[in-house]
Amino acid sequence: MAIHERSLVEQERILRKERLVVDGVDVSGDWNLIILPRVIEDYDLDFAKEVAESPDGKTITQCYQCSYCTASCPVHNYWDDRYNPRHFIYLARLGMVDELQKRADVIWRCVSCHKCTHRCPKGVLVEEVLKVILRAMAKRGLIEEYPSKKFDKFFTESVLEYGRIEDGELLLGWVEKQGYKLFKDPILKKPVPLIGDAPLWLKQLMLKPIKSMNVGFLMLNAKHMLFHPRTKNWNKFKQVLRKAMEEEGALK
């Protein structure tokens, strides 16, 4: 039987009288507290199996619910106590995906500090296991895709296309993808930084390094943004790389 933090029990299942005397014995407050049982019928044991059988998720079976991970998690302690790695692992092992889904708004909040993994006495790779749980949920359409994965895809496509990274173009392209209308030059249709509807933080971010660049470097950057250079013979290599990545499922 796992120990549950009281905050995880639904309020309507907790019965507690502030003042209660039974046969002359004072059983006020927590002495009379009862948690009503519940019936759970929505197990998805395939879910638990999928997590435990994946290479990154297999250490989930070693968890003995001590809660060291949650006690050391900064997201749980300083942001939102509904983010609870121990509890997520508990629910995943039971295949209680509906309960996991109730926490969809906080479930992506891990900041990858690895404190949980470092503190776990049972060698559970907590962060990796949590990521596997999230991937399995996203696959079933229970939660949205990991927000940073959208950027990863965009980044991968950019590298695949050119065989190199062009920071400015990557940043502006991503900002455009978020719905900002960027001003584009009329000939090459490339976004022009610092003009248009770009958010103020972005303009400030771009202005700072520009101010400290020498003219030659500035011109080189501008040229790269306008005429994106490619790695030599990249097209042939790109085809092979794309095929290999598709076969590995790395482009999903």
* Binding residue for ligand SF4, selected from 31, 64, 183, 227, defined by CB under 6 A: 64
3-state secondary structure of 26: strand
Given the complex with ligand SF4, which of 73 and 225 has the nearer CB atom?
Answer: 73
* Binding residue for ligand SF4, selected from 8, 27, 52, 66, defined by CB under 6 A: 66
Considering the rule CB under 6 A, would residue 115 count as an interface residue with ligand SF4? Answer: yes
Considering the rule CB under 6 A, would residue 68 count as an interface residue with ligand SF4? Answer: yes
Q: Within 10 A of 10 (CB to CB), how many other CB atoms are there?
A: 9
In the region spanning residues 79 to 108, those forming contacts with ligand SF4, defined by CB under 6 A, are: 85-86, 89
Q: Within 10 A of 89 (CB to CB), how many other CB atoms are there?
A: 25
3-state secondary structure of 196: strand
Considering the rule CB under 6 A, would residue 120 count as an interface residue with ligand SF4? Answer: yes
State how far the Cα of 82 lies from the Cα of 75, in Å rounded to an integer: 9
Backbone Cα Rg of the chain = 26
Question: Of the listed pieces 31-39, 41-49, 64-72, 150-158, which binds ligand SF4 according to CB under 6 A?
Answer: 64-72
Return all residues near 38 (Cβ < 8 A) that are at least 6 apart.
Answer: 13
Query: ∠51-56-57 over CA atoms, to 5°?
Result: 30
Instruction: State the nearest-atom distance from the C-beta of 75 to ligand SF4, in Å.
Output: 4
Considering the rule CB under 6 A, would residue 69 count as an interface residue with ligand SF4? Answer: yes
State how far the Cα of 7 lies from the Cα of 187, in Å rounded to an integer: 59
State how far the Cα of 245 lies from the Cα of 19, in Å rounded to an integer: 66
Considering the rule CB under 6 A, would residue 63 count as an interface residue with ligand SF4? Answer: yes
| Total chain residues near ligand SF4 (CB under 6 A) | 27
Residues 140, 145, 146, 151: is their CA dihedral positive or negative? positive
In the region spanning residues 130 to 169, those forming contacts with ligand SF4, defined by CB under 6 A, are: 130
* Binding residue for ligand SF4, selected from 65, 101, 156, 221, defined by CB under 6 A: 65
The burial class, CB within 10 Å (0-12 / 13-18 / 19+), for 114 is: middle
* Binding residue for ligand SF4, selected from 48, 92, 100, 116, defined by CB under 6 A: 116
Given the complex with ligand SF4, which of 129 and 172 has the nearer CB atom?
Answer: 129
* Binding residue for ligand SF4, selected from 4, 58, 82, 122, defined by CB under 6 A: 122
* Binding residue for ligand SF4, selected from 47, 91, 103, 127, defined by CB under 6 A: 127
Contact residues toward ligand SF4 (CB under 6 A) are 63-69, 72-75, 85-86, 89, 110-116, 120, 122, 124, 126-127, 130
